[in-house]
Structure 1
Amino acid sequence: MSSPQRWLERLTWPEVAEQLQQEGATVVWPFGALEQHGPHLPLSTDALFADRMLDQILAGLPPDAPIWRLPVQAIGFSPEHVGFPGTLSLPSDLLIRLVETVGLQLADLGVRRLVLFNAHGGQIGLLQAAARELRAQTPTMAVLPCFLWSGVPGLKELLPLSEGDSGLHAGLAETSLMLALEPSLVRDQRPVDGEHRHPSAAATPPDGWSLEGAAPFAWLTADLSRTGVVGDSRGASVELGRQLEKTVVDHWQHLFLSLLASAWPPVNSVLSS
């Protein structure tokens, strides 16, 4: 776990006033969701991943690095899962306004980089739009919307091809990672459901189209799955979860080190604004 000194909410206001004036001051805001994850994973799955993985990532950075984290935003944009009990979803405009409101206040404190560290696939595009809106209003602060599972080298080699492409929700990867991080929250069921497994043939996308990718659908979980799962969790294991954990943490530690060593945002962009 990262040091409490990394948690912005643990600092006093004089400490915040002083420390956020450091060159390259960076704040990371983890985002999750409160949504169904099948009959075997908790509603907090994405929020737990963003929270725990971020702590591990920050723990591996130099202790004097000017980087802090915010509390996890545990309710997000999850309309695709509405209809399954327990799912709570914020309207898209409210989440964008939340990012803008908090981001503007952080910029006023002197923060130079705000990383939106997201673990919920259903709000990737929304947080990208929110980041662009915020960036247009904060010429001195870079905004970086990231997705926990995106661009991680070696990740697909750990998963079967079918799960790498179609294990979109509560499948092999998420179940294994939860077994590694918080096994007490994983139930005994190992559902197999989703694309190509739904009783309706209409659940298979037409040729050239896909659930995600170059030509995606704006799908709802109920279109594809009766259990809330889109994937195959039967092969999930602690061992695979630990491999996934290390691969993801190593990748983001490398990226954060690269960011902290940079002068981003560009000076010319700041001066011309």
Structure 2
Amino acid sequence: MKDICFHHHTRDEIAEYAAAGCAAVIPLAATEQHGPHLPVYTDSLICEYVVTEAVRRVSEQNPLLMTPVFSVGCSDHHLQFNGTISFRSTTYLGMLTDIAESLVRCGFRKLIFVNGHGGNERIMIQVASDIAVKHPVWTASASYWTVSGQALQDAYARDVGMVPGHAGGFETALIMALRSDLLRSDKITDSHTLTPWFNSGIPGFIGKHGMLTGYDGYTDAANLATEEKGRAYLNAIVTSLSDWLHQVTQTMSQGE
């Protein structure tokens, strides 16, 4: 494939890819506050990088086209802080449905959502299920930290903070590796008030009004993050995501 980007092709080329059984990969992210030290585009920067690199690897063996990153997500729980742009959950459900319906109209029969923001996850899964019920297509969906969980554990990612957390040591390390020029390192503190029920091991959902993002809008201190660690985590994510995309596309192809 000469170019993995859906948006770099003409309408006729996209029709040809769809007719040939190419899968469409849809990256989902957010634009929202990430504490006093990270840019509001953090989730989108991370998501675009890991999905692009994974799709590039897998497309050597399996035909894939990656749509533009959808950089506004369901982030209402961050609206109490400045810098957040959000769709309410019902709007986001409708938007993802419309995106999927559009790709089905384009002729795609394999749709793969890859998520980079926690607030999108449940809605993404619901839409993937709904589309597979409504249309004779394959769908799949996952968040990057879910498919790379074991690899990140092996890379000792939890040594720097919660994984994925929010604007803590983990995401800060990733941004150090991707766009260190956007980091406000003078705003990083050596300690942070933790929210006790985050990662508490209690099954299901538990949350409190005004505290869904962690104290002061982020989950943990970023003082242990380094660029070197960030590069290791990105490599673990890209490798795991590549493996997952390969497994998914192979399963879809075998089931045709």
Task: Compute the TM-score of the two structures, normalised by the length of structure 1.
Answer: 0.83
- Which residue in the other structure is 1:270 paired with? none
What SS does the aligned partner of 1:30 have? Answer: strand
Larger displacement relative to structure 2 (94-103 or 104-113): 104-113
Q: Do the aligned residues in 1 keep the contact of 2:26 with 2:67 (CA within 8 Å)?
A: yes
Deviation at 1:41, TM superposition (A): 0.5
Distance 1:262 1:120, change over 3 A: same
Could you report, residue by residue, the CA deviation over 1:132-184 in whole angstroms, capped at 9, with x for unpaired residues? 22222112x1221210111322212413468346x621111100011001111
CA distance, structure 1, for counterparts of residue 124 and residue 212 of structure 2: 24
Quote the residue 2:13 is aligned against.
15
SS of 2:177's partner is helix
Contact kept? 2:124, 2:141, Cα under 8 Å: yes
CA contact (8 A) 1:36 1:42 kept: yes
Q: What one-letter code is carried by the residue in structure 2 that aligns with 1:8? A: F
Letter in 2 for 1:33: A
- How many pairs align? 252
Matches within 5 A, 1:148-187: 148-152=144-148, 153-157=150-154, 158-160=156-158, 163-164=161-162, 168-187=165-184
Partner of 1:35: 32
CA pair 68-56 structure 1, distance change in 2 beyond 3 A = same
Q: Which residue in 1 is equivalent to 2:242? A: 253
Percent identity over the alignment is 23
* Structure 2 residue 132 is the aligned partner of structure 1 residue 135: yes
Q: Which residue of 2 aligns with 1:118?
A: 115
Aligned AA (1:94) = T
Root-mean-square deviation (CA, aligned residues, Å) is 2.4
Aligned with residue 147 of structure 1, among 139, 143, 149: 143
Contact kept? 2:30, 2:75, Cα under 8 Å: yes
Using a 3 Å threshold, how does the CA distance of structure 1 residues 80 and 4 change in structure 2: closer, same or farther?
A: farther
State the distance in 2 between where 1:4 and 1:221 align.
47
Q: In the superposition, relative to structure 1, how do residues 45 and 13 fare at CA in structure 2: closer, same or farther (>3 Å)?
A: same
CA distance in 2, matches of 1:225, 1:46: 16
Q: In 1, distance between residues paired with 2:25 and 2:132?
A: 15
Match of 1:72 in 2: 69
1:103 is displaced (CA, Å) by: 1.0
The one of 107, 125, 135 aligned to 2:104: 107
1:80/1:219 contact within 8 Å kept: no
Kindly indicate whether the alpha-carbon contact (under 8 Å) linking 1:27 and 1:114 is maintained by their aligned counterparts in 2. yes
SS of 1:94's partner is helix
Task: Give 5+ residue unaligned stretches, structure 1.
Answer: 197-203, 268-273
Is 1:95 the equivalent of 2:125? no
The residue matched to 2:205 in structure 1 has which SS?
coil
Shift of 1:107: 1.5
For residue 85 of structure 1, report the CA deviation from its aligned partner: 0.6
C-alpha distance after superposition, 1:41-90 (max 9, x if no partner): 01011111111111111222243632001111111101211110111110
> How far apart are 1:261 and its partner, in Å?
2.4
Is the deviation greater in 155-164 or in 186-195? 155-164
Q: Specify whether residues 252 and 228 from structure 1 end up closer, same or farther in structure 2 by C-alpha distance, changes over 3 A only.
A: same
Tell me whether 1:86 sits opposite 2:75 in the alignment.
Answer: no
**Structure 1 residue 17: Cα displacement:** 1.5
In 1, the alpha carbon distance for the partners of 2:199 and 2:48 equals 30
Q: How has the CA–CA distance of structure 1 residues 213 and 35 changed in structure 2, closer, same or farther, with 3 Å as cutoff?
A: farther
Q: Does 1:46 align with 2:51?
A: no
